[in-house]
Every structure is written in C-alpha cells, then in structure tokens.
A and B are shown apart, each in its own frame.
Chain A
Amino acid sequence: MRSVPDRNNRLPREVCIASIDLRGIWPEETVEKRIEDILRRMENVYSFEPDVICLPETFQTSWVNERKKLDEYAEDEEVPGPVTSIIAEEAKKQNCYIVCPLVTKNEGHYYNSAILLDRKGEISGVYHKTHLVPSEIIEVGLTPGTIEPPVFETDFGKVGMQICYDANWFDSWDHLKKQGAEIIFFPSQAPFINVLKHHAWINQAYIVSSTGEGARIIDITGDEIAVSGMFERWVCATVNLEKALLHVWPFVRKVDDIRKKYKNKINVKIYHPENWMVLESRDPDIRVKDILREYEIPTYDEHISMNDKVQNEYRH
C-alpha cells in the first residue's frame, strides 16, 4: 500500500478512501461474529485517517449461516438500528464517512440499502439498490430503488452508490453522472472487476468497490489504483477530485504550453489507445476548470456533445 498523506497535508480536493474486502471472513456462523470481524478489519485502515470507508453489501448477513427473519434484521432509515449504531460509532471516533450497506425498512417496504454515515456518525443519506436480482424481490421481499438514485453531498465532494447487480445496467449510473457524482461506491457480493472499470471511464467517476471477493479503488479512466488481496483484505488510497478526462485531439497540441506554464503544479497523462488525456492539478490554488478555460479546452463530454450537435445538423 502506498503512503497516504495525513489530513493536514492533502490537497483541497484530495480524498482518502478506504474499502473493506469480505473475503476470508465468510461463511460465518453468527451475525455477531461477522460484525466483530468487520470491525477488526476496519481497524487496519484507521491509521491512514480515511475520509470515507466503504463496507460490503449486506455485510451483516451475506454468507452468514445464522438466519433471521427480514423484519428482525432490517433497520430503520432514520433512527439508527443496532448495526448502523455500531458502525456510526466508528464513523464518529474516526471522524470519517462510512458507507454502511444493510437491509432497511421504510414505510412498510424493505430495501437492499447503503446508508451513508457522516463524520458525526449520523445518517446523511440512504441508497436503495436499483436493480435487484428477481429472487431478492420475489423470495426475500425487497423493493427495488428508483432508477434515478440520489447523490449525496459530503465535505469532500458528491458521491453516489450502486450495489452488486446494478453493475449490469447503465441507466442508474448515468443518472448519478448527470447529478455530478465524483465517486461511486459499489458494495457488492460479486467483484465485477472489468465491468466496474468500464463504468468508471464511462461516468468519469472514481469507483470504490467493497465485495465478497476483493476491494478496489478505480481511477476515472478505469485504471486500478488499489486492490486488496490475501495479505491485506482492505485498500486505502488518496484520489484527487481536481482532475478531468479530456479528448486528446486536437487539444494535445496545447499540452506543451500548459506544462511550460504550470510545471509540476499539474499532471497530464495521455491514454494513447483511447485518445484520452487526463489533466490533474497538484496545487491547492489551481483549478482544472480554470486551466481548461484559459486554454479553451472542452471537457470530454463537452467535446462529444459539440460534435454530436454538428453531426445532427448535417446528417441527412
């Protein structure tokens, strides 16, 4: 694991993200044992002073042999239940956000959810899994969430969530993108490795997975930043939200001038096969959008949108 700067030395839009892998602690006999193991695993990342920690989908019940009725383990979405409270205590102690996935109940309906706990340990948002597997609906009795899922404001940026089977669809991810999600958390059972990498570049968002087999932090380009394994069942890395994906042509012509002016205050990385480039600010006082404006470079989406407009105008 590469070194992570402490909170006081991070760039203004640098976020330290941790994520927990469930592998190695399943199957388990009791919910109590599972919670203990998750808490122990979370302790590994505290020294990094993470801004946010992501936990796996329905971690209290996934591959746990102890069976309870839905109503016994579903927790309220406003008043913290037993598991939410335990995790909220950690959020408060560590002064970080936690994505806490569990089954919730709301007005007589049950959801496969991810609760966002803020730095005070309070519930600041709830995501309902959009694309449930039919057996979750018909056999378990869960209700699917809206295909227009909410994004949540945090003190480091806008975040969204998707859970497991959601990976096979695009509508809900697209909605998150349109709402400005910069990081999408992905608690899951299956890891969906390459699928997530595609969602990352399509939505130009960091993706943080926490699954039954692996935890990952994926760059806005789809590159893997960090992945867990058998020696460390967790990941932790800082990501910089002051970063933009751009189309390379013809804007690459301006890169030399940008580098000459901003030197090591910026990073430019070219992705040759995809014709992308990524511009990142490494200086607290320099915003990427100001550089783009200065050099008249559109974002990737603006470039595609402009071309789309021209194509539609001239298509017969």
Chain B
Amino acid sequence: MGKNAISRRKFLGRTTASSIGLGLIGQSASVSALDLKSARDIKKLRREVKIASIDMRFLFPEKSLDAGIKKILNRMEKAAAYQPDIICLPESFSALMVSERRPRSEIAEDENTPGPVTGSIGEFAKKHNCYVICPIITKNEGVMYNSAILLDREGKISGVFHKTRPVSTEIREGKGVIPGPVRPPVFKTDFGKIGMQMCFDANWFESWAYMKDDGAEIVFFPSQFPGGRILNFHAWKNNYYVVSSTGQDARIIDISGIDIDSSSFQLGYTWAAVNLEKEYIPTYPGKYRIPDIFRKYGDAVKIKVYRDSGGGAGTGAGHITIESLDPDLEVRDILKEFEIPIFREELEADGRVQEKYRL
C-alpha cells in the first residue's frame, strides 16, 4: 500500500467534515461520505481493512432489474453505515434476483464502460468512498464471462476477474461464458492486494494458490453456493482472508481458517475489520518466543495460538497468528527480530531439507 493511501485513510478516520477535507480528497468523496467518515474519530490500525459483505437472502425474486438493484442498494446502504473500505456482492446478483430471465448476451455489460448495473453500483462506491466487488456477466471482444468487477472508491472500474471454473452448463459448448485464466489477476487497492474466486472455483486449488503466490491478502468469493468448510480450507491453506458473498450467507474468514463473522437470517450482511499486519507462524519456534515478544511489545501485539485441544475451533496443530496493533510496527519486523519464520515459508524450507535427505 502506498504511503499516500495510508495517510489518506488515516485522514479520513480522524478529520471532521470540512472544506479542507473536500479539497484534499478531490473528486473521490461527496460531502455525505465525509460526514459518514467523520462520524467516529477512532485511530485505525496501520493496515486495518473494514470489510462488509452482502448475502442474497430475501432479495429475490424481483420482477425488474431496476427493482432488484434498488433492493440490493438498500441493503448495501445499511452495510455502508459501518464505513467499509470494501463491500462484496454475490455472484451474478443482478441476473439471478430477477425472475424474468433474459439471455446472458442481453444483460452482459462492457468491461470498460459502466453499464446499468456497474453504473448504479459505481455511484454507490463513489458516494460511500469504498471499493465494491460487483459480480456481473461481462462481454469483452465478443466473448462473455461470468465476472466480478472491482469498482474503486471513485466508482470506476479498476479490474475485472473472470470466473476460472464455470460449470459446463454455463459454458454451453462455447455459447455461454468462457472460463478465465487459471492464474487469475490480483488487484492493488489502497489497502492491499486482493484476489477473487467464484462459486464452482472453490472445488479447485491451483488458482487459490497462484493468488497467494502473487501476493493476495484477501480473496473475495462471490458465489451462489455458500462454500462451507471448503472456504475455511482455502483460507488456512493460503493464510489469507477469505470473504464470501453468496445466495445464502456472507462470511469473513481469518487467515487461520477460522470464521470471524457471518451474516444471519435476520441480517443479510456481515462486517469485520481485518488486520493485514498479521502473519501465520509455526508452533516451533513461535511458542518459545511469545513471552519475550509480549515483554517487549505488550499491547502493541496480538498473539493467538490455535491450540492442540478443544472442540474444533483450532487447527489442532498449535499454529500461531501474530499481529501488530501499533501503526508504527510491522509484523514482519517483529518476526525478523525474534527469528520466527512465516509458516508457509518454513514448510518450503523444511521440504527442501526432506528432499535433500530422501533416498
């Protein structure tokens, strides 16, 4: 994340609405967004990201696209009160919530010029100064994709993900949507790098792994099916946050694979602040260094052990997460200081030793 982005976010978190604020932010936020941003004067963590995610419960069926969009915007407005940095919407929400089915070719929107759905959602993104993951069927050079468009804080299209693994019935022998690349793009935002996977994609592992390799810190999962334990696995396996937005629920999953929060029957959206200044580390030598880290950094760090015992809340492997709660403290620096490796990097190193001695 660039320094400008950090200072801008800190500014948004601390200042009150003023003409100075408007001038600094330029075109990116309306006065009402500033009013919202200044509602609480609480210092944010260095790399804290406020996430909201919407599920589709009770949003369908709607007769017209306009009515459907209005309904989801209404739910998004409620979630926006949390002042999220990013909101995730469900897969193909605009098509699937409308009872009157139209051919995909009619509803597909351009990937560069905002259409009816991306336009409306883009306006919302601008109004609330947040990113939105807007999943929609797109067309590009005569080809259709089941996509998720990333709208930035100004409501502009800043990236497009094409569903890697459409179901064969979506592909319809080439007459439907075309699968995206197995190595999907990751996108830079002002809070970190993000990736996306959609619905049926959950059943494969390689694209999830590529996104980790390419630096994704949060992977968004717009879907029709909820994913259940499969998503917990992907989060643990890759040690990034996973945020789902589905036909039946919306969840925010920690880098340890444990659920942070989820939507409910009563409330069709979820929210949580996640800290990207957080790493998953191995039990050894992690567990020996914990007292010294606390002695030196006290409340500036948060350490959690996914214990060996218990009814399934932990990995049972004794793995540990450590995060910095101090805006001036990078978690990687703490790990370097205490000679603690990152879990996945440690496994790679151990794998090399095993390979060397294997007959």
Query: What residues make up the interface of A, taking CB atoms closer than 8 Å to B?
Result: 109, 130-134, 137-138, 143-147, 165, 167-169, 190-198, 201-202, 213-214, 222, 224, 247, 250, 271-275, 304, 306-308, 310-311, 314-316
Contacts and interface: CB of A to CB of B under 8 A. Distances in A.
A201 B205 CA distance: 13
7 contacts: A198-B236, A214-B316, A247-B203, A272-B226, A304-B203, A314-B178, A315-B179
A195 B315 contact: yes
B179 A194 contact: no
Given A190-B283, A193-B314, A273-B227, 18 more contacts: A137-B354, A138-B353, A146-B359, A165-B350, A167-B317, A190-B317, A192-B317, A194-B236, A194-B257, A194-B314, A197-B312, A213-B316, A214-B309, A273-B248, A310-B171, A314-B171, A314-B174, A315-B178
Contacts of B178: 314-316
A281 B143 CA distance: 45
A275 B359 contact: no
A273 B225 contact: yes
A165 B347 CA distance: 10
Nearest to B317: A192
A301 to B, nearest CB: 10
A119 B210 CA distance: 46
A198 B168 contact: no
Contacts of B168: 306-307, 310-311
Contact of B229 (A145, A201, A213): A201
Contacts of B143: 316
Interface string B308-339: 11101011111000000000000000000000
Contacts of B310: 193
For the complex of A and B, 4 pairs with smallest distance between CB atoms = A273-B228, A193-B316, A274-B228, A191-B316
Nearest to A132: B354
Contacts of B165: 307-308, 311
B171 A190 contact: no
Given A131-B354, A190-B318, A194-B314, A274 B347 contact: no
Contacts of B3: none
B349 to A, nearest CB: 8
Nearest to A221: B229
A146 B358 contact: yes
A304 B168 CA distance: 10
Interface in B66-113: none
A190 B316 contact: yes
A130 B359 CA distance: 11
A239 B85 CA distance: 48
B308 A213 contact: yes
Contacts of A192: 315-317
B317 A144 contact: no
> Contact residue range for chain B?
35 or more
Count chain B CB atoms within 10 A of each CB in A131, A190, A272, A273 and give the residue with the most: A273
Given A194-B314, A275-B225, A134 B358 contact: no
A133 B248 CA distance: 42
B122 interface: no
Contacts of A146: 358-359
Contacts of A274: 225-230
B179 A311 contact: yes
B353 A143 contact: no
B297 interface: no
A137 B357 contact: yes
A311 B315 contact: no
Contacts of B359: 109, 143, 146
A165 B179 CA distance: 36
Contacts of A250: 169
A247 B225 CA distance: 12
A235 to B, nearest CB: 15
A301 B308 CA distance: 32
Contact of B358 (A143, A168, A201, A202): A143
B351 interface: yes
Nearest to A111: B359
Interface string B41-71: 0000000000000000000000000000000
A190 B319 CA distance: 11
A117 to B, nearest CB: 25
Contacts of B309: 191, 213-214
B200 interface: yes
A273 B181 CA distance: 26
Contacts of A307: 165, 167-168, 200
Contacts of A213: 308-309, 316
Contacts of A197: 229, 312
Contacts of A310: 168, 171
Count chain A CB atoms within 10 A of each CB in B178, B182, B350 and give the residue with the most: B350
Interface in B170-225: 171, 173-174, 178-182, 200, 203-204, 225
Contact of B233 (A202, A275, A311): A202
B229 A273 contact: yes
Contact of B308 (A138, A191, A247, A271): A191
Contacts of A194: 232, 236, 257, 312, 314-316
A297 B290 CA distance: 52
B286 interface: no
B268 interface: no
Contacts of A130: 354
A109 B248 CA distance: 54
Contacts of B13: none
B166 A311 contact: yes
Contact of A315 (B181, B249, B350, B354): B181
Contacts of B229: 197-198, 201, 222, 273-274
A303 to B, nearest CB: 9
A272 B350 CA distance: 38
Contacts of B314: 193-194
Contacts of B350: 131, 133-134, 165
Contacts of B174: 314
Contacts of A195: 236, 315-317
A202 B236 CA distance: 14
